[in-house]
């Protein structure tokens, strides 16, 4: 498949000086995009798109308070540009899904991120849930959608939105006991959605060997069984060893490894949306992702034994049943 990047200057306008999730973060991410990649213009979501997953009164409240600069919670800010940027972030993630379905893996390089945003709550730098908005819109015409979140932090907002649904398979691998203190192995969904949420909390210091084990033994088999029409990746690269916001030990090329595993193991169209990633090597990780989308295969040198705690997580998750 071909691949593309979706980006616009609107995403840099949501900005607060000295905040870790500022507009300057995009420059590092964009440095990894190949010079000859196909660029796509950002697309604005409608308010009705947001209201498929967010409560209308919450959307209206964000729109009102974002007339100026303030904090929605201790670490999530808005400015007069934030509501518009958030609409474009959600809409561009939906556009990435549409491009993927048309035969073009697509990466929406958007801000603000989204995976912590719940139906009526903004948190963790996130205003609206970009991946969830895109999934809900896609389900207007598709039968099943999968979301895989490899951000350092658990995508609690995405999980909450689809926790009772059997139309969305949500898989998250993240650092255990980190913000927002959710995403444990026993959180597997409720009602019709029981078994359609798979959480793999990994111990601090985990490496690509641990991630590979989760992908090989749990996530990829689940995706194959679920047979979604498209796979949305909440792509936060803050599990890099040089990212001060976490304690994991991934290298930039490891994100190429994970991307190739999903392509080769599932043969699904991929739509990626940017979540976290704050370290100096973030651009190199983005470069590796694009290389994998374009067909490059990555190998793991000096592969080590997974942590025993990772093996236990995998053993538990392999017993979770759905369908």
The token pair at 1 is 């498949």
SS3 287: helix
Q: What are phi and psi of 239, to 5 degrees?
A: -90, 10
DSSP string, 122-137: -BTTBSS-HHHHHHHH
Which of the 8 DSSP states describes residue 307?
Answer: P
Greatest extent of the chain over all pairs of C-alpha atoms, in Å: 53
Distance CA 57, CA 69 (A): 20
Could you give the residue ranges of the DSSP H alpha helices within the chain? 10-13, 25-30, 47-50, 56-65, 82-101, 130-138, 156-162, 208-214, 220-226, 252-266, 282-293, 308-317
The token pair at 320 is 């979770």
SS3 207: coil
Helical (H) or strand (E) element with 170: strand 168-175
- 116: annotated active-site residue: yes
Distance CA 141, CA 162 (A): 17
CB 260 within 8 A of CB 292: yes
Q: Residues with Cβ < 8 Å from 308, sequence gap 6 or more? A: none
Q: Which candidate in 116, 153, 282, 307 is catalytic? A: 116
Measuring CA to CA, which residue among 52, 35, 221 is closest to residue 141?
52
Q: Give the active site residues.
A: 116
């Amino acid at each position: 498949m071909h691949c593309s990047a979706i980006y616009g200057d609107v995403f840099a306008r949501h900005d607060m000086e000295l905040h870790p999730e500022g507009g300057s973060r995009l420059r590092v991410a964009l440095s990894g995009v190949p010079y000859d990649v196909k660029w796509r213009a950002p697309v604005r979501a409608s308010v009705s798109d947001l209201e498929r997953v967010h409560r209308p009164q919450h959307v209206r409240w964000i729109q009102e308070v974002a007339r100026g600069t303030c904090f929605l919670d201790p670490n999530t800010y808005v400015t007069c540009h934030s509501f518009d940027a958030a609409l474009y972030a959600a809409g561009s993630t939906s556009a990435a899904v549409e491009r993927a379905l048309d035969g073009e893996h697509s990466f929406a390089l958007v801000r603000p991120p989204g995976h912590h945003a719940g139906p009526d709550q903004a948190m963790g730098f996130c205003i609206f849930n970009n991946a969830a908005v895109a999934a809900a819109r896609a389900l207007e015409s598709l039968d099943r959608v999968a979301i895989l979140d490899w951000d350092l932090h658990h995508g609690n907002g995405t999980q909450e939105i689809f926790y009772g649904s059997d139309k969305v398979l949500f898989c998250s691998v993240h650092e255990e006991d980190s913000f927002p203190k959710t995403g444990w192995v026993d959180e597997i969904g409720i009602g019709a959605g029981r078994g359609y949420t798979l959480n793999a909390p990994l111990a601090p210091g985990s490496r690509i060997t641990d991630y590979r084990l989760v992908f090989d033994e749990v996530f990829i088999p689940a995706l194959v069984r679920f047979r979604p029409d498209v796979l949305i990746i909440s792509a936060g690269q803050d599990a890099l060893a040089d990212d001060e916001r976490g304690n994991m030990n991934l290298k930039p090329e490891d994100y190429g490894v994970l991307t190739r595993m999903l392509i080769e193991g599932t043969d699904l169209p991929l739509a990626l949306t940017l979540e976290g990633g704050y370290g100096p090597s973030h651009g190199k990780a983005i470069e590796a992702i694009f290389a994998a989308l374009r067909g490059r295969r990555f190998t793991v040198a000096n592969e080590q034994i997974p942590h025993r705690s990772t093996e236990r997580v995998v053993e538990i998750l392999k017993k979770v049943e759905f369908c």
